[in-house]
Amino acid sequence: MTSIGTGYDLSASTYSPDGRIFQVEYAAKAVENSGTAIGLRVKGGVVLAVEKLVHSKLLVPGANRRIQTIDKHIGMATSGLLADGRHMANRGRDEAASYREVYNSPSPLKIIVDRLGLYAQAYTVYSSVRPFGLSTILGAVDKDGPQLYVIEPSGVFFGYRGAAVGKGRQLAKTELEKLQIGELTMRQAVKEAARIIYLVHEDAKEKEFELEMSWIGDETGGVHLPIPKELQQEAEAAAKASIEVFE
């Protein structure tokens, strides 16, 4: 019995006869049409990087950022629908603030990820809403050390040493697997993250893009901050040079 074209994709609350929820699969497709985002959990902290595709030369550089701060020690990078990413970030901030208010201490990342995963999953069970067209990478340094998680549109989440989502995720994952991630310093991870983003962008032959990067860890005193301008420029220059050599 086929489930294609028979109306089983009209609601997120309807299963197809073979047990699929097409709305969730469509949400995953929205992520695949977006720029690549990666995260690296190294020995000193976490580095996040996003390929933000520039669709118009009239856009102000730095506008519509895809990396946001959830709490002082938690950063979020998203791939998918930009507005969904903003909404999820605001929800994450609410959860982090709620934890601080109740327990008077910074939230472990696992708690925030668990709550956001449940929130995303709730949007897959009601016919009056749609799933988030969003994959989210969350990184932090908490009482358990550096942490990195990915939340998928279905609400499922996993912990990673290196993660990639978006259009170029397969190539990015291949490059991440080649690295000795646990042995990298944060500054080395910044350069590797920039190289991987430039590599996947070049492979897809996309238009112009803007590289967004941030880090949390020893270099920042455990606070989520943008990469210093000089270091990012150095990393981007090295990435461009490596692409030219590769060609």
113-126: per-residue pLDDT in tens?
Answer: 999 999 999 999 99
Residue 110 has pLDDT above 60, yes or no: yes
pLDDT at 5 over 90: no
Q: Which residue blocks in 151-218 are alpha helix, DSSP H?
A: 169-178, 186-204
Q: What would the mean pLDDT of 177-191 be, rounded to a whole number?
A: 94
Query: 105 pLDDT exceeds 90?
Result: yes
The model's confidence at residue 157, banded by pLDDT at 50, 70 and 90, is very high
DSSP alpha helices (H): ranges in the chain? 22-32, 82-103, 109-122, 169-178, 186-204, 229-246
Closest CA to 103 of 93, 92, 111, 114: 111
Element holding 146 (H helix, E strand): strand 145-151
Is the pLDDT assigned to residue 246 strictly greater than 70? no
Round to whole Å and give the CA distance between 101 and 238. 44
Convert the pLDDT of each residue in 135-151 to its tens digit. Answer: 999 999 999 999 999 99
Domains of the chain in start order, with CATH, are 22-245 (3.60.20.10)
Calculate mean pLDDT across residues 179-183.
92
Per residue in 34-85, pLDDT (tens digit) is 999 999 999 999 999 999 988 888 888 888 899 999 999 999 999 999 999 9
Mean pLDDT of 192-219: 91
pLDDT computed for residue 1 by the predictor: 41
> Of the ranges 17-31, 52-66, 149-163, which is most confident?
149-163
Residue 245: pLDDT band with limits 50, 70, 90: low
Give 153's pLDDT tier (boundaries 50, 70, 90).
very high
Q: How far apart are CA 181 and CA 66, in angstroms?
A: 23
Residue-level pLDDT at 57: 85
Check residue 56 and give its pLDDT. 84
Core vs surface per residue 108-126: b (16+ CB within 10 A) or e: bbbebbebbbebbbebbee
Which DSSP helix (H) or strand (E) runs through 165? strand 162-165
> Tokens 């799933």 correspond to what residue?
131
55 against 3, higher pLDDT = 55
Of the candidates 135, 158, 155, 131, the one whose C-alpha atom is nearest the C-alpha of residue 147 is: 158
Question: Hey, is 73 helix, strand or coil?
Answer: coil
Angle at 212 between CA 160 and CA 135, to 5 degrees: 45
Quote the CA–CA distance of 8 and 11 in Å, as a whole number: 7
